[in-house]
Amino acid sequence: MIDLLRSIMIFSFRSPRNSAAIFLATVLVLGLFPLVAPIVRGQTGDFSISSNNPVLRFIAGTGGTPIHAGIIVTGTNGFAGNITLKAAPQFVLGDPLVLTPSTHSLGNGVETFTSDLKVQSSPTAPPGTYTINVTASSGGVSHAVSITAIVDGATWSTFNTGSSRSRVFNATDTVIIGVKVSSFTYTVQQIAVRIVSPSNNILINKAPMTPGAQNPNYNYHYAYPVTNAGPGLYSYYISAIWSNSKNLTYANTFDILRVSASPQVSNCYPPQNSCPPAITRGTSYGLNFALSIQGNEVHNLIFYIDLPTGQTAPGVSSAGSSPIAGYTRYYVAIGYLSGGLPDGEGGNTNISWNVGLKVDVSSSAPAGQTTVYYHPTWTTWQGFAYSDPSSPVQETVQ
């Protein structure tokens, strides 16, 4: 433009007859220059990105057929160039995201194209709402569109009252089956619970209950007391049914075990048929416990015994002071029981184990009726610890 003005000025001086016309042309050029210059300088192309399926819905635990979303890229202002598409996070639902095609060119009459985004949910994808970002890039320019993926499903748990432990329960526990159904799209219509014993008897067949249409995220707990239930591996099933007739059933197991001890006192040691009617000071007597272990996953058993003042258990490890005043605690580590099965293998353990101890009574031990306390402590294969309260054994010292 500057070169053009210079040429006009030189020509006007050389041709005076045309100076008026040339001067008018110069004014016109100078007046239009501010209007023309921005158009010439600012003419750059761009592009936009959108989706024709911005919300994708899956059912947890099913995997199934993938869902497709069209990714639409449109050029503006005469854009020409190569477009590269990327989707992230790549494994947001467990399976990789696939874009077809992932690159495409715009220009030369092509103003828009559509890429297919294939999204498949893994059966292990937990319920929730996820965001998929698809980015279109060309040179230093990028634009993105977000797609929401919703996984409808349920989370489940079993645990003991007042404890975080799960799966293995003592005979005095209460099993609580906790159910949380998270439905982001559909209304939860029914929840059903069923518990089956080791002998395949149905102990609980809870009638389906309706949580209510206004509560898509529903928490449900069912308490099952195991006090009167026999030891073994129990199965439970939870079913959730949604308003669109889709359903999901979850199955798991929990174990019930028992450890019991039956004490016997022999007034002499070694035990014999002619023992005196009472324990004599300055002698020894026998203390025998018949242990019965029923259930699954008993891993390590320790038997605690609390002896009163004047009585000792030679050859048995002392655990120091007893929580009972005036008593000394001893323990017998029976060890790892071969009948205990690792988690998930099922089956039952039914072990009888005899613990025989020699107890020395000093000549200065108090005479009269006295008490010995005992209680077993054990752990499961998973490391959960259990302890029965102390039980008494009455004896007479003379």
pLDDT of residue 283: 95
Share of the chain above pLDDT 70, in %: 64
Q: Which overall architecture, per CATH, does domain 47-151 show?
A: Sandwich (2.60)
Name the residue with higher pLDDT: 239 or 73: 73
Query: pLDDT (tens digit, 9 = 90+) per residue, 26-46?
Result: 444 445 444 433 333 333 689
Neighbouring CB atoms inside 10 A of 396's CB total 13
Amino acid (1-letter code) at residue 356 = G
Q: Does the reported pTM lie above 0.85? A: no
Residue 247: pLDDT over 60: yes
pLDDT surpassing 90 at residue 21: no
User: What's the pLDDT band for 282 if we cut at 50, 70, 90?
Assistant: very high
Same fold, 153-256 and 257-397: yes
Query: What local confidence, expressed as pLDDT, does residue 82 receive?
Result: 95
Average the pLDDT over each of 23-27, 354-358, 366-370 and give the range with the smallest value: 23-27
CATH topology of domain 257-397: Immunoglobulin-like (2.60.40)
CA 257, CA 192: separation in Å to the nearest integer?
26
The number of helix segments (H) and strand segments (E) in the chain equals 2, 25
Both tokens of residue 329? 């605690």
Q: Which CATH class is domain 153-256?
A: mainly beta
Look at the chain and count its residues.
398
* Cβ burial, residue 392 (10 Å; 0-12/13-18/19+): exposed
Q: How confident is the model at residue 188 (pLDDT cuts 50, 70, 90)?
A: low
Cα 273 to Cα 50, 268, 270, distances in angstroms: 94, 9, 10
pLDDT of residue 118: 94
Question: For the residues 275-286, what does the mean pLDDT come to?
Answer: 92
pLDDT digits (tens, 9 = 90+) for 283-337: 999 988 877 776 655 667 778 889 999 999 998 888 778 888 999 999 877 665 5
Phi-psi region of 21 (alpha: psi -120 to 50; beta: other; left: phi over 0): alpha
List pLDDT tens digits, range 136-156: 999 999 999 999 998 877 666
Closest CA to 232 of 336, 388, 383, 349: 349
Alpha-carbon distance of 175 to 157, in angstroms, equals 11
Q: Per-residue pLDDT averaged across 215-239, rounded? A: 71
DSSP code, position 29: H
Percentage above 90 pLDDT, the chain: 26
Q: In the predicted model, what is the mean pLDDT of residues 52-80?
A: 88
Q: Where are the domains of the chain?
A: 2-42, 47-151, 153-256, 257-397
The pLDDT score that the predictor gives to residue 67 is 92
